C-alpha cells in the first residue's frame, strides 16, 4: 500500500487516479487502516456477495487492473513489478477528445447496446432520401437499425465542426460508441450495395464465441456454477 | 558492419509497434480477466467511499484519466 500511495502522488498531476476496492471480508477494518496508514486516494468496500470482485474476476489480493484514458480496461491484471511502467506508458497516450454534446444520448445508447453511431450530415431532404434507400429492403434496414444509433445534424453545424467535417455534400459518418470517427461516405448518389458495404465495414465486430465461452467457463469453475449458453440475437 | 546495423534497424522498427500494440505483461493467463480487456470496466458496486469528499466515484467521471484499480484487503 505505501507503494501505491507514492505512485498516486507522483503521477497524479499527469492524470493517474488510484482506486482501492477493499474485499467485503474484513471490510469493517478498512476505515481505521486507511487512517492509520495515511492512505489518501479513494477507497471503498465491495458489497456483501462480492459483486465487484466477481464482475472483475478477481482471484487473488492484491489484483491490479488498469483503465486507459479512453475508458477501457487495458490490462487485467498486472503483475506488481509492471505497474509503474504500464502507468507511464498509458499516461503518455493522448487524451481522447471530449464527446460533442449532440452525441451524448446516442453514445450512451450505443454503449449500452453495443452499437455504433451513424451521423447523417445534410438537410431533412438528404436524410429522407437516405432513409428511403435504407428501407428498400428488410435486411439492410435491419442491419442499420441493429448496428447503429442514428444522429441527424446539418452540414456546417456545430456537430460537423466538432467532428472536423468540412464536406459541403451530404455525408454519413460512422463513429464508435465513444464518438471516434471510423469512416464516412457521401449520401448523394449512394446505392444499396455501397451503403450495405459501408454498414458492414463499420459495425461492431461480433464477439469470438470461443473466447466468451472460455471466460464464462473459467468464472463458473471458480464460483462452482454452471454455464447456460443462450443463443440469441439483439433484436 | 552490416549485421549490427540491420539488427539495430530491426530493433528500432519493432520497438514502437510493441508499445503501440499495448502488449503489457499479465499476472497470469485467465480467460475471465482477458474477456474484460478492451471494454468499459464493470460498475463499481461498492460502499463506504473514503477520500472522495463523501461522493461515490463512477467510470463516467474518470474519462480521460488512467485508473489503477487495486483490489485489496486488510488481513
Contacts of A75 in chain B (CB under 8 A): 24, 26, 37
Grid cell 456454477 — which residue? A225
Range of the domain at A122: 101-202
Residue that finishes a domain, picked among A71, A91, A111:
A91
CA angle centred on A80, ends A19 and A71, rounded to 5°: 40
Q: Is the pTM for the entire model greater than 0.80?
A: no
- Mutation to test the B interface, candidates A7, A12, A14, A22, most B Cβ within 10 Å: A22
For A170-228, write each residue's pLDDT tens digit: 999 999 998 888 999 999 989 999 999 999 999 998 777 888 888 888 888 888 888 88
For A116-157, write each residue's pLDDT tens digit: 999 999 999 999 999 999 888 888 999 999 999 999 999 989
Is the domain of A140 the same as that of A158? yes
User: Which of A15, A73, A92 lies closest to B16 in space, CA to CA?
Assistant: A92
Report whether pLDDT(A66) > 90. yes
Is the domain of A123 the same as that of A177? yes
Question: What is the spatial distance between Cα A127 and Cα A187, in angstroms, rounded to a whole number?
Answer: 8
Percent of chain B with pLDDT over 90: 43
Task: Using pLDDT thresholds of 50, 70 and 90, give the confidence band for residue B20.
Answer: very low
Q: Indicate the number of domains in chain A.
A: 2
> Shortest CB distance from A78 goes to which of B19, B24, B38?
B24
Q: Would you say residue A235 lies in a domain?
A: no
Task: Using pLDDT thresholds of 50, 70 and 90, give the confidence band for residue B25.
Answer: confident
Asked if B69 contacts A56 with a C-beta cutoff of 8 angstroms, the reply is yes
Report whether pLDDT(B11) > 60. no
Is the domain of A10 the same as that of A29? yes
Burial A89-126 (b: 16+ CB within 10 A, else e): bbbebeeeeebbebbeebbeebbeeebbbbbbbbeeeb
Q: What is the CATH number of the domain that holds A27?
A: 3.40.30.10
Asked whether the beta carbons of residue A19 and residue B22 sit closer than 8 angstroms, the reply is no
Report whether pLDDT(B74) > 50. yes
Report whether pLDDT(B12) > 70. no
Asked whether the beta carbons of residue A42 and residue B75 sit closer than 8 angstroms, the reply is no
Amino acid at each position: 500500500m505505501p507503494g501505491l500511495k507514492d505512485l498516486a502522488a507522483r503521477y497524479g498531476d499527469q492524470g493517474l487516479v488510484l482506486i482501492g476496492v477493499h474485499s467485503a471480508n474484513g471490510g469493517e477494518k478498512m476505515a481505521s487502516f486507511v487512517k492509520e496508514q495515511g492512505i489518501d486516494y479513494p477507497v471503498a468496500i465491495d458489497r456483501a456477495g462480492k459483486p465487484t470482485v466477481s464482475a472483475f474476476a478477481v482471484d487473488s489480493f492484491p489484483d491490479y487492473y488498469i483503465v486507459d484514458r479512453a475508458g477501457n480496461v487495458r490490462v487485467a491484471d498486472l503483475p506488481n513489478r509492471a505497474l509503474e511502467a504500464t502507468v507511464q506508458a498509458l499516461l503518455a497516450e493522448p487524451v481522447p477528445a471530449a464527446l460533442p454534446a449532440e452525441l451524448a444520448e446516442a453514445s450512451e445508447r450505443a454503449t449500452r447496446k453495443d452499437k455504433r453511431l451513424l451521423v447523417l450530415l445534410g438537410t431533412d431532404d438528404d436524410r429522407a432520401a437516405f432513409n428511403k434507400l435504407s428501407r428498400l429492403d428488410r435486411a439492410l434496414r435491419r442491419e442499420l437499425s441493429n448496428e447503429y444509433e442514428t444522429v441527424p445534424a446539418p452540414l456546417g453545424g456545430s456537430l460537423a465542426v466538432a467532428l472536423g467535417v468540412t464536406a459541403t455534400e451530404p455525408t454519413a459518418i460512422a463513429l464508435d460508441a465513444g464518438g471516434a470517427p471510423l469512416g464516412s461516405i457521401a449520401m448523394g448518389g449512394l446505392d444499396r450495395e455501397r451503403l450495405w458495404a459501408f454498414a458492414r465495414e463499420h459495425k461492431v465486430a461480433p464477439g469470438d464465441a470461443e473466447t466468451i465461452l472460455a471466460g464464462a467457463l473459467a468464472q463458473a469453475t471458480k464460483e462452482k456454477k454452471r454455464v447456460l449458453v443462450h443463443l440469441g440475437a439483439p433484436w | 558492419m552490416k549485421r549490427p546495423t540491420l539488427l539495430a534497424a530491426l530493433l528500432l522498427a519493432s520497438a514502437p509497434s510493441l508499445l503501440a500494440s499495448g502488449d503489457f505483461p499479465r499476472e497470469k493467463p485467465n480467460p475471465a480477466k482477458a474477456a474484460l480487456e478492451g471494454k468499459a470496466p464493470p460498475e463499481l458496486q461498492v460502499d463506504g467511499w473514503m477520500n472522495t469528499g463523501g461522493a461515490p466515484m463512477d467510470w463516467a467521471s474518470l474519462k480521460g484519466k488512467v485508473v489503477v484499480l487495486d483490489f485489496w484487503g486488510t488481513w
